[in-house]
């Protein structure tokens, strides 16, 4: 739920205040050097002039209709948005890697008036990159932040430019791109079914300083899956406490991984999430446990449970089971069970669940999930200022007595400290 995903986590709140403070001088229009213009600027408007109503962020409400490739792009009417990848890859020697790459967009205000400065900002962009080198027993991560201004960072929406004239006019589509300095996500293909990503930097984990980078090409093997019902993924009771959330649950992935001076040519499969909304979480929420599983029989499973600060689970927790042919079924909390079987303490001192049992009684499916490495915690002090666990996992179990195996990712937030109502 990678805002939740994403974005995404507390991924906006802790640094948004700092970003606003730093940006404030640039959000103001420079004073005019023309005395007449200055005089006009201070002339009060007539008392009969009506003030324009304050702009507000759009809420995720029922009835939303997804359209692709449009919805791969940015949705500026909403405050928070993220584009999220995880995957499991191997090189020719069967060395296994897992990765997570997320781009976040967080709006500081609903609308940005016309300004003279090219540095004026409406959105702040964040990005997280993590790499699990299972064979090397290493977990690496880095993060970035930049204002979406002056070409430093941004997130495109879908644009169409008409060319030609008369009845033979044609259109040329430019598919969305997200970028933060040299980190890039570019959609291509007729419906955005192909994607290119590139990211890298200096590692900040306990492994120590070490440059690493990824460069991958993805191709969707299934159509996008809409999570939730009636166009929304409801996260809690109340109007707008929801997101619009879809996934491409199986992407064929090829590319390269660099760690220090070593280069690995890899291939495998990835999972892509895109989520956007404006007011998702309840102040009672501590955090969430999110699971994305790619099973060996061609199915996928997404589940999340939202945890209350008092230890309970929000009844709006839910999931999606995706069949081999792409058909999806919404799962309510009553349709599944998540049990924590063990905990592990990280170098940071925070303890997280580290092994789980997932049961879907109706499907007679039971899976046990084990992390590839115990410590896959990110402390994103350079961007969002929070700690969370997100890592490569393996799963095995049975359905109707037959063995089932798979791989995936788990995201755990709110264990270092509660997330609260950040989203």
Please provide the DSSP assignment of 164-181 as one string.
Answer: S-GGG-EEEEE--EEEET
Strand partners, 86: 100, 271
CATH number at residue 388: 2.40.370.10
Q: What pLDDT, on the 0 to 100 scale, is given for residue 2?
A: 52
Is 2 part of a structural domain of the chain?
A: no
- Residues of the chain scoring pLDDT < 50: 3-52, 160-172, 421-423
- DSSP sequence for 288-347: EEEEEEEETTS-EEEEEEEEETTS-B-TT-EEEEE-TTS-EEEEEGGG-EEEEEEEEE-T
> In this structure, is residue 343 part of a structural domain?
yes
Q: Is 254 left (phi over 0), alpha (psi -120 to 50) or beta?
A: beta
Sign of the alpha-carbon dihedral angle for 178, 410, 14, 206: negative
**Confidence at residue 180, expressed as pLDDT on a 0 to 100 scale:** 97
Residue 160: which domain range?
Answer: 13-28+60-412
Residue 242 in any domain: the answer is yes
> Based on the structure, what is the number of domains in the chain?
1
Question: Quick check: 148 and 128 in contact, CB under 8 A?
Answer: no
Paired strand residues for 285: 308
In-domain check, residue 82: yes
For residue 419, the model assigns a pLDDT of 78
User: Is position 47 within any domain?
Assistant: no
Domain for residue 54, yes or no? no
Sequence-distant (6+) residues with CB within 8 A of 218 are: 85, 194, 195, 196, 197, 251, 252, 253, 270, 272
pTM: 0.86
Residue 197 lies in a domain: yes
- Looking at the domain assignment, is residue 313 inside a domain? yes
What residues contact 282, with CB distance under 8 A and at least 6 apart? 235, 236, 237, 238, 241, 306, 314, 421
């Amino acid at each position: 739920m990678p805002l939740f995903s994403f974005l995404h986590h507390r991924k906006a709140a802790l640094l948004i205040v700092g970003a606003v403070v730093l940006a404030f001088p640039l959000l103001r229009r420079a004073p005019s050097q023309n005395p007449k213009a200055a005089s006009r600027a201070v002339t009060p408007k007539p008392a009969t002039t009506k003030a324009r109503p304050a702009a507000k962020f759009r809420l995720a409400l029922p009835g939303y209709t997804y359209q692709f490739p449009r919805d791969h792009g940015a949705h500026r009417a909403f405050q928070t948005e993220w584009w999220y990848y995880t995957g499991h890859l191997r090189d020719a020697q069967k060395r296994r890697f897992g990765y997570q790459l997320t781009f976040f967009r967080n709006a500081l205000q609903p609308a940005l008036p016309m300004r003279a400065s090219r540095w004026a900002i409406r959105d702040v962009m964040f990005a997280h990159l993590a790499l699990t080198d299972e064979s090397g027993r290493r977990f690496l991560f880095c993060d970035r932040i930049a204002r979406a201004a002056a070409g430093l960072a941004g997130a495109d929406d879908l644009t169409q430019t008409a060319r030609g004239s008369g009845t033979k006019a044609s259109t040329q589509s430019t598919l969305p791109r997200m970028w933060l300095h040299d980190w890039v996500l570019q959609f291509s293909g007729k419906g955005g079914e192909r994607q290119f990503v590139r990211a890298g930097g200096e590692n900040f984990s306990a492994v120590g300083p070490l440059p690493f980078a990824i460069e991958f090409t993805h191709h969707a093997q299934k159509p996008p899956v809409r999570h939730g019902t009636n166009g929304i993924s409801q996260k809690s009771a109340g109007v707008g406490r929801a997101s619009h959330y879809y996934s491409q649950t199986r992407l064929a992935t090829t590319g390269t991984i660099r760690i220090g001076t070593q280069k690995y040519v890899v291939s495998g499969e990835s999972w892509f999430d895109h989520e956007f909304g404006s007011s998702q979480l309840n102040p009672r929420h501590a955090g969430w446990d999110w699971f994305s599983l790619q099973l060996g029989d061609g199915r996928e499973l997404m589940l999340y449970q939202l945890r209350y600060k008092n230890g309970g689970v929000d009844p709006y927790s839910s999931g999606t089971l995706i069949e081999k042919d792409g058909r999806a079924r919404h799962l309510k909390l009553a349709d599944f069970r998540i049990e924590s079987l063990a905990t592990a303490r990280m170098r940071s001192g925070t303890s997280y669940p580290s092994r789980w049992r997932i049961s879907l009684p109706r499907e007679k499916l039971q899976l046990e999930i084990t992390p590839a490495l115990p410590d896959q915690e990110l402390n994103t002090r350079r961007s969002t200022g929070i700690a969370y666990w997100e890592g490569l996992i393996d799963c095995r179990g049975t359905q109707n007595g037959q063995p089932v195996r798979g791989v995936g990712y788990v995201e755990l937030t709110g264990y270092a400290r509660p997330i609260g109502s950040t989203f």
